[in-house]
Structure 1
Amino acid sequence: MKSKAKSSFEKKVAFKSAQQNESEHLAQLTGHPAIRTDDDNNSESIETVQDLDSHAKQVPKSFLKSFKNLLGYFERSLEDKKDKHQLLIRSFLKWLGGLDIPDAEALPLKDLKENDSRTPDEYLKLLKKNLNIYNSIFILLCWSAGIKCFKIKGVYKTDGLDNVASSEWAAVNVNEAWQIVHPYRICRALSGKFPQGWFKSKNEDLNTSDVEIFKTSFLDYYINPKPEQFIYEFFPDDTDWQLIPDPITEKQLIKQELCYHTWWETDLRLTSRRQYKITSTKGKVSITLHGTEQSVNDLVLWYDLSLLGSIGETRKDSNIQDHDYFQRSVFLVRNGTSWVCKVLLPVKGTYRTVFYGGKLHKPLTAIFQFSLICKEAYTDPVPLAVDPGCVGLVPGPFARMCGLITPTYKNGAIQLEMNNRLKLKFRVGYK
């Protein structure tokens, strides 16, 4: 590896150290001792992480004339703070995430140098047209603070027909351990969707410059994410920067399922085929997720199925009129501690299915997705008669809210026979 960087062995040892200290680091970020400053221009008290974030979002324009001045603004309340570098990293990103991006013509970006003569103000003018500037400004701030930081170039897994696209992020060294930081993903994210019936997922690219899907947010996940999770989305050109004991290949990245950062918050695990491209059997695909009774019942799960390209026929030829037709070909059923998704593919071709998840009353965000390959269409599929909406199939969090407990059937798909009576019963809770 390059002389500036650590050896593969050293980085792996440092990675283990970072993971061991992760819980301590989170505790320090969410509550730390009060810090007072006698600076006449900044007499505020930094007592909690909320105070730190608020301070970082209020950088006066007068501090944007040089990186030295900008660093001074962030540093002056943290001089005696333990883990100063970790808190500076958070402050840099909090400031970047809250920026009102100026509308200016893009200027050519040269290779970064530690003695770069451009000011923060000049760099901000590049953000509108070149989103990699988030990474560049972050790296320059780290260098100004004496924090070891490297630009990491690589690819990320896309959600379309193309497998990967170029991306870049950073690696920082804090307390002798390397951490991954993805400034753009931290500062800009897709907004979620509330489930009000079937919705169509746009062909959204998290690295896109489409400002319509920007949401001012702060995704802590991408500050020191677990490398074994990060590798499901991003692959560095230099495999040493995977920071995992057993590096994978780009071919393995493409083959494995696409999990977004939100997947790791669901407490679910995929127990069906662990691969991104799934070939159907006679037009039928089954995807199974397992969790705990609490994780399954606390989660609202939804989906979108779209046909990317048909083989030898069109929607018109197959009498498929609209998007909802495909959604009614998916049976997403909650069953005790598992979710079972059965997809009936009515047309030969390539499909994309995106799963969305979120806690009750929260927006749903994409958690993972698959590419479905159908070489033989399902014969005479019987679609769902109605849109079950966010309630889904089978009793879940809404039933518990209403006090309906212990249902007769925990499985949302019940086999019936003609002329037989079906009884559905619940116990009613005390309320």
Structure 2
Amino acid sequence: MGCGGSKSTDTVSNGKSKEKEEDYLQEPENDPVDLEDIVVGYPPPKPNSSRKEHIFTEKDKEAGDSRAKQIKVEDYPSLDDLARALTEGLKNDVQKVRAIFTWIGLQGSNGSGSKDKNNNNQDSMSPQAVVQKVIQRKLSFNFLFTSLCRAAKIPCVLIRGLGKSVSYEVGDQDVDRLNNSWTAVYVSGGWRFVFPLWAFSAVVGHSKGTWTLVETQGKGTREKEEASSGRTISHINEYYFLTEPDEFIYCCYPNDSKWQLLAKPFTKQDFTEIAYCRQRYFQNHHRITTPAKCFYQSANGVCDVGIKRLGKEDCVYTYELYFNHEQSKATLPAEIQLEKYVAILNEGKSVRFRVRFPSEGIYKLLIYGDDSLLCEFKIQCDEDVDNVKPFPCNPESGFGPSTTTEEAGLKAKSHQSGVISIKKTRNVNIRFNVTKNVLVQTVLLQNNVAQETLSQYVNHKVKNQELDINVDLPQQGEYALQINTKDKESGGSFTNACNYLLTAENMNRKQRNYENALEKKIRKNLQECTNSGKLEELQKALDDFDKVDLEDKGDRQRAVERITFLRLRKELKDAIARRHGEKLEEAIENAKQSKYEENLQNKIREAEELLAQLRRLNRFAHEVLKMQQPTISEIHNYRHPKPLAYEIMKATYILLGEEEGRVEEWEQIQALMRKQGKEGLLRRVRLFDTVDVTENMVNSAAQLLRDYDEERATNVIDEVMNASDESPTESKTSEPAPKKKK
């Protein structure tokens, strides 16, 4: 299935040979009408300092979409006339590009371009003829979009490279056949991606017929996909309008690495190996917590894939497991029903899918979040799996505390992880705070022992709003503990609140009642390191403790909890030191979702204040960066600027580090504005950071602007930016020049 919302187009003929079908999400390598990929004089490609939400507002969307809906293709004889009608009078280039984008999408969705007007005298390059050719796939969407943008004086380039579209299958190593092309437009001071074809088309119901669904939600099945070419639909997919470069690279790789628009470009191997993530993965802010690769190899018949959602909103994760009946060397035994071979392990906001493989072969794991496909992984198991067994159960809510647990009236107090490893001792104690008036039921399960037999090995009691559960395992092996609740007042049946996977090892080894001198030293060192709070030393002490396999008398658990706290604190400190917005968001989120939120409150507050400051800085910098170099030249050419314009420029340069004596006169400011490259104004604003600003600099700038409010300053900036698109007069002043007649 490709990024454009479709599956691979290679079909199987007679189960052996493959026929290559047309990839409807792949643009032709060349259009019949020549169009330069790039125009000489365009700004060079480089990473942006702001994201889509900073430059594209709801007002921009409404303005562009409203204009697009008013324009009829048959009313305009040329693309130039059409571009002028679509963009004239709109406030900024983002709105203009939006109007062009939406208008093209509407032509496909309402089918206007496919109507035969029976006009033999129609110009072959009229808008109506071009739209018709695009919909008939005789011209590319890129050609129409690029032509209209350039006609509207908006820089637009055609980018050629590789795109994971219809013919891509997760884990494919041969990506050279994925030739495709897309565009980038220069708006708000930077290049932004637009992929018209993927925005306006999708292929649904396409399948190569090589996969069999074998497990979903803990239930076994054998649903073999049928080969199908699917069908192409027209729609408008907002995701491929001004797509973020750090997301776009997951599915599109340009031949020229500069057009990745990334500070650290991907290699072709990176592109081939990177996880296959869909747009909902990015839109809903998910992160893969295991290696972000599309191909995994099992170890001892097991493979873990982890994911989490950033932010406060919860997410219900589900999955589907497939078996490739063509690529796999072995066939899946008919007697094996794959149920309970995938477990969901809850780890706070993170979830880990643990997959066990009862047979060698090629598998595919699909992960969904709130019913939307997020990502896919190809997993190979090529080892002996005779000892691989299913889990004792596979509850829908997974193993470990989750939002379901708290809704059921329980809050985990002792064990936050869904897997509890028990060594030597047979007993484990699990505690919860009881937050609702509920009855509790505990059930112990094992694959080879009846539930009734195991009931004597688990008991619980509730006292002072605390639930205390004791499990005394009868023998080694893997067990599942189910904890169910029901309301005392309303009655009804018990519902599952929480589950734990218990793994018991080395229980048959004789227990010692003493420790030798070395073991005592290791235990004491762990206790001391736990108290000292030095992360690296504590981790080493814990590793030493585990190597000699000492019994946990509470020392190990305290050390583990201390390490978790220290790591969260370090993550906050590092993010603050780096002043990186995304790292700050992630560190704050991780700290808030932990049980140490109260202990970390000071660091969390510091990180939140810095994040808010950086966001304000980005917003203010964006307003300046919306100006293009011609705008800077326009201001520079003023002989007698308005006082406010002069004061704003003087304050700007003071905050950028210029001494007040070097910006006293307008001529001095003009000299600074003439500088290009590293000393250019826009570059300096883009790299600006408040960490370099002193109190004196702030006071000087504030003194200059003390008599003005934000509204007056904004009016002057808008006036200057509007004037930059207009004709200059012979003698420059700060008054705007009259518009050219069109």
What TM-score comes out, normalization by structure 1 length? 0.71
- Residue aligning to 1:187: 200
User: Are 2:292 and 1:274 equivalent residues in the alignment?
Assistant: yes
Amino acid at match of 1:218: N
For the pair 1:20 / 2:50, whether they are aligned, the reply is yes
Write the distance in 2 (CA, Å) between the matches of 1:30 and 1:388: 42
More contact order relative to length (CA 8 Å, sep ≥ 6): 1
Q: Which residue of 2 aligns with 1:216?
A: 235
Among 454, 458, 464, the alignment partner of 1:421 is: 458
**What does residue 97 of structure 1 align with?**
105
Match of 2:95 in 1: 87
Q: Helix, strand or coil for the counterpart of 2:145? A: helix
| C-alpha distance in structure 2 between counterparts of 1:256 and 1:320, whole Å | 35
2:133 pairs with one of 126, 135, 140: 126
Residues 310, 201 of structure 1: CA spacing in aligned structure 2 closer, same or farther, 3 A cutoff? closer
Contact conserved, 2:253 with 2:271, CA < 8 A, in 1?
Answer: yes
Aligned mates of 2:331, 2:202 — CA distance in 1: 34
Is 1:11 the counterpart of 2:11 in the alignment?
A: no
The one-letter code matched in structure 1 to 2:321 is: L
Q: Which residue of 1 aligns with 2:255?
A: 237
Q: Which AA in structure 1 matches 2:365?
A: T
Identity of aligned pairs, percent? 22
2: CA distance between counterparts of 1:306 and 1:326?
10
Partners of 2:280 and 2:267 lie apart in 1 by 24
Verify the 8 A CA contact 2:400 2:417 in the aligned structure 1. Answer: yes
Pick aligned residue for 1:301 from 317, 323, 326: 317
Task: Give, in angstroms, the shift of residue 343 of structure 1.
Answer: 0.8
1:350 to 355, 358, 362: 362
Q: How many residues align?
A: 370
Contact residue 101 and residue 124 of structure 1 kept, 8 A: no
CA deviation digits over 1:277-327, x for unaligned, max 9?
1111122101122445834xx212222222224543223xx1168xxx557
Unaligned runs of 5+ in 1: 33-48, 106-115, 359-363
Cα separation, partners in 2 of 1:314 and 1:101, compared to 1, 3 Å: farther
- With over 3 angstroms needed to count, the CA separation of the structure-2 counterparts of 1:69 and 1:397, relative to structure 1, is farther
Larger radius of gyration: 2
Instruction: Note if 1:166 corresponds to 2:174.
Output: no
Aligned to 1:112: none
Aligned to 1:263: 281
CA 1:288–1:143 in structure 2 vs 1: closer, same or farther (change >3 Å)?
Answer: same
1:367 aligns with 2:410: no
Asked if the contact 2:74–2:128 (Cα under 8 Å) also holds between the matched residues in 1, the reply is: no
CA separation of 1:293 and 1:169: change in aligned 2, threshold 3 A = closer
Give the alignment partner of residue 152 of structure 1, picking from 159, 162, 166. Answer: 159
**C-alpha separation between the residues in 2 aligned to 1:349 and 1:184?**
36
Looking at structure 1, the residues matched to 343 and 114 of structure 2 have their Cα atoms a distance apart, in angstroms, of: 48
Contact 1:407 1:427 in 2 (8 A): no
2:236 aligned partner, one-letter code: S
Report if the CA contact (8 A) 1:131-1:209 is conserved. Answer: no
Equivalent position SS for 1:299: coil
Is residue 2:344 matched to residue 1:332? yes
- The equivalent residue for 2:212 is none
Q: TM-score, normalised by structure 2?
A: 0.44
How far apart, in 2, do the equivalents of 1:396 and 1:217 lie? 36
Q: In 2, are the aligned partners of 1:335 and 1:411 still within 8 Å (CA)? A: yes
> Contact 2:275–2:292 at 8 Å: present in 1 too?
yes
Q: Is the 8 A contact 1:304 1:327 kept in 2?
A: no
Report if aligned partners of 1:282, 1:376 keep a CA contact under 8 Å in 2: yes
**CA distance, structure 2, for counterparts of residue 229 and residue 404 of structure 1:** 38
More helix by share: 2
